[in-house]
């Protein structure tokens, strides 16, 4: 029986999952790693922590399953997107901590680019808006702030990569510097229409072309791992950014299909086929996947705070000991209170895109307690998803026919309370799949497809199985009242920023 090893390198932990040829899970290992917050709005990772935790979990999963490298047909990599690593081409040592996608330190650079009138060009070429979220300004910041970095980069001594290319470089012993089209499309340096690094954008951000990896299909033979890592070389045959991998794992291969992943943040992707739809509602146009040289596009809405709102309840406020307690606690809340949390801890993502605002609570009373805060935290994720859902339906011409079901995955998808409230507010069914590990499954599928283990997309989609469908049950009056309250809360927060 051939196996496929998926390396799922996330924002707070690294995981490795070994899939069988029928996509069932043979073994799983997970390891958290430290987060670094050197200043307000700054988020960093040690690249060595990323590498060590990835390697450790991969070895642990292989050991748990009791298999050898010879029995593993391929490795697939999926990763936190937009996070930036810059390292020495010869030694492999990173010249700075990885700057994480959540990091907002480049807000001033982004404001300057907007003021200079570059947003139209950047959006036309990349499908992205100017925001600190994306990789380009993070790379520029490292080159500007690490002594000698820019000169070294111009001499060809440094390499840049998102986490996938960094892991690939380490796995192959420094022999391969590649990335796939999905990760390239998140850097804000890649032209999603031509499928090439954009010379004008590289010049604008002063990023030398020699630093960048070559871009390939998402399902591709990227190289082989060093034999000593796993007791034998294993082909690396699949790479996709985590949200695109989840889209694949959810089998959203047909235009109009939509999935939403709830991890640290929340990310909804709507497959738009071979058409790169331009959003009128501040959504992103991105590459969903690239197979056989053919790019498939998506509209994406990004929410920066989802699961991290629950982490805030646990670690910041100490209201819960475990995330699973949040739903039962929210059930105990006072229905007479209308408490709204706008969790703009690192600014607001789509469809607002305001990096300056910070989180706020509205509607507090003397009787507001832990239950009401838990209720507000979970509901905030649903309200933000509603904003994305509404924007996608406005941008996609066949929304009424196509976008009737939302497929969900990620840690928060396990919360029945949250998923039911999501269905209520969307006024649409929410489908949770049988295989919850959709991000890892997407990476495994890409690798297995290249290795000949898994079938073509249409046949793979036939194997998607429903675990539970949440149907809307809230009255129209209650739904409208709640959505109106959320709208007032967001408006109040945005107005406070304008007032400054």
pLDDT score at 431:
94
Taken in order 176, 85, 210, 286, the sign of the CA dihedral is positive
Q: In 3D, which of 292, 315, 389, 305 has the Cα closest to residue 348?
A: 305
Domain shared by 99 and 216, yes or no: yes
Domain shared by 132 and 269, yes or no: no
Domain shared by 43 and 93, yes or no: yes
pLDDT score at 327:
85
Domain shared by 121 and 211, yes or no: yes
CATH number for the domain including 120? 3.30.420.40
User: Does residue 52 lie in a domain region?
Assistant: yes
Q: In 3D, which of 93, 99, 91, 57 has the Cα closest to residue 75?
A: 57
User: Does residue 456 lie in a domain region?
Assistant: no
User: Does residue 351 lie in a domain region?
Assistant: yes
Percent pLDDT > 90 in the chain is 67
Q: Pick from 210, 243, 276: which residue ends a domain?
A: 243
Domain shared by 217 and 197, yes or no: yes
Q: Pick from 227, 243, 259: which residue ends a domain?
A: 243
Domain shared by 345 and 479, yes or no: yes
pLDDT score at 498:
61
User: Does residue 440 lie in a domain region?
Assistant: no
Domain shared by 173 and 296, yes or no: no
Distance between CA 90 and CA 232 in Å, rounded? 24
Domain shared by 177 and 109, yes or no: yes
Strand-pairing partners, residue 87, are 94, 159
- Mark the ranges of the chain whose per-residue pLDDT is less than 70: 1, 397-403, 497-500
User: Does residue 21 lie in a domain region?
Assistant: yes
Can you read off the two tokens belonging to residue 64? 């748990």
- Cα torsion 482, 487, 489, 494 to 10°: value is 170
Which tens digit of pLDDT belongs to each residue from 188-226?
999 999 999 999 999 999 999 999 999 999 999 999 999
Domain shared by 221 and 260, yes or no: no
Number of domains in the chain: 2
pLDDT score at 400:
54
Q: In 3D, which of 414, 364, 412, 404 has the Cα closest to residue 384?
A: 412
Domain shared by 237 and 256, yes or no: no
Range of the domain at 278: 251-433+465-500
The number of beta carbons lying within 10 Å of the beta carbon of residue 364 is 13
Domain shared by 230 and 313, yes or no: no
Domain shared by 278 and 201, yes or no: no
User: Does residue 448 lie in a domain region?
Assistant: no
Q: Pick from 221, 243, 265: which residue ends a domain?
A: 243
User: Does residue 445 lie in a domain region?
Assistant: no
The number of beta carbons lying within 10 Å of the beta carbon of residue 321 is 8
């Amino acid at each position: 029986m051939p196996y496929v090893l998926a390396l799922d390198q996330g924002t707070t932990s690294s995981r490795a999952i070994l899939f069988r040829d029928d996509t069932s899970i043979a073994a799983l290992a997970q390891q958290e790693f430290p987060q670094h917050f050197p200043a307000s709005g700054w988020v960093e990772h040690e690249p060595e922590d990323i590498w060590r935790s990835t390697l450790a979990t991969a070895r642990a999963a292989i050991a748990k399953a009791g298999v050898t490298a010879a029995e593993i047909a391929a490795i697939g990599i999926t990763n936190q997107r937009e996070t930036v690593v810059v390292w020495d081409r010869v030694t492999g040592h990173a010249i700075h901590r990885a700057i994480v996608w959540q990091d907002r330190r480049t807000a001033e650079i982004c404001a300057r680019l907007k003021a200079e009138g570059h947003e139209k060009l950047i959006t036309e070429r990349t499908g992205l808006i100017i925001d600190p979220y994306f990789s380009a300004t993070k790379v520029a910041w490292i080159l500007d702030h690490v002594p000698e970095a820019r000169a070294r980069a111009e001499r060809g001594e440094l390499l840049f990569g998102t986490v996938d290319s960094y892991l690939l470089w380490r796995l192959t012993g420094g022999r391969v510097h590649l990335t796939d089209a999905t990760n390239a499309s998140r850097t804000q340096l890649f032209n999603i229409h031509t499928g090439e690094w954009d010379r004008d954008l590289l010049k604008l951000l002063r990023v030398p072309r020699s630093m960048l990896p070559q871009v390939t299909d998402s399902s591709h033979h990227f190289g082989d791992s060093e034999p000593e890592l796993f007791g034998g070389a294993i082909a690396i045959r699949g790479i996709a950014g985590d949200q695109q991998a989840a889209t694949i794992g959810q089998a959203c291969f047909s235009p109009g299909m939509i999935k939403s992943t709830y991890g640290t943040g929340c990310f909804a992707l709507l497959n738009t086929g071979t058409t790169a739809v331009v959003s009128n509602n501040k959504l992103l146009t991105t590459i969903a996947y690239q197979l056989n040289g053919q790019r498939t596009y998506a509209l994406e809405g990004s929410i920066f705070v989802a699961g991290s709102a629950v982490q805030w309840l646990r670690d910041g406020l100490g209201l819960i000991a475990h995330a699973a307690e949040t739903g039962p606690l929210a059930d105990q809340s006072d229905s007479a209170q209308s408490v709204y949390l706008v969790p703009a801890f690192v600014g607001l993502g789509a469809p607002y895109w305001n990096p300056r605002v910070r989180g706020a609570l509205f509607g507090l009373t003397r009787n507001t307690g832990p239950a009401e805060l838990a209720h507000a935290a979970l509901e905030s994720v649903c309200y933000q998803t509603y904003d994305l859902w509404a924007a996608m339906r406005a941008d996609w011409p066949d929304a009424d026919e196509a976008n009737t079901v939302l497929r969900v995955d990620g840690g928060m998808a396990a919360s029945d309370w949250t998923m039911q409230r999501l269905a209520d507010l969307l006024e649409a069914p929410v489908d949770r799949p049988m295989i919850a590990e959709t991000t890892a499954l997407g990476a495994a599928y890409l690798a297995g497809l290249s290795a000949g283990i898994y079938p073509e997309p249409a046949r793979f989609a036939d194997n998607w199985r429903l675990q539970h469908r949440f149907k809307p049950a809230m009255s129209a009056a209650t739904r409208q009242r709640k959505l109106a309250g959320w709208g007032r809360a967001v408006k109040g927060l945005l107005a406070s920023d304008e007032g400054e």
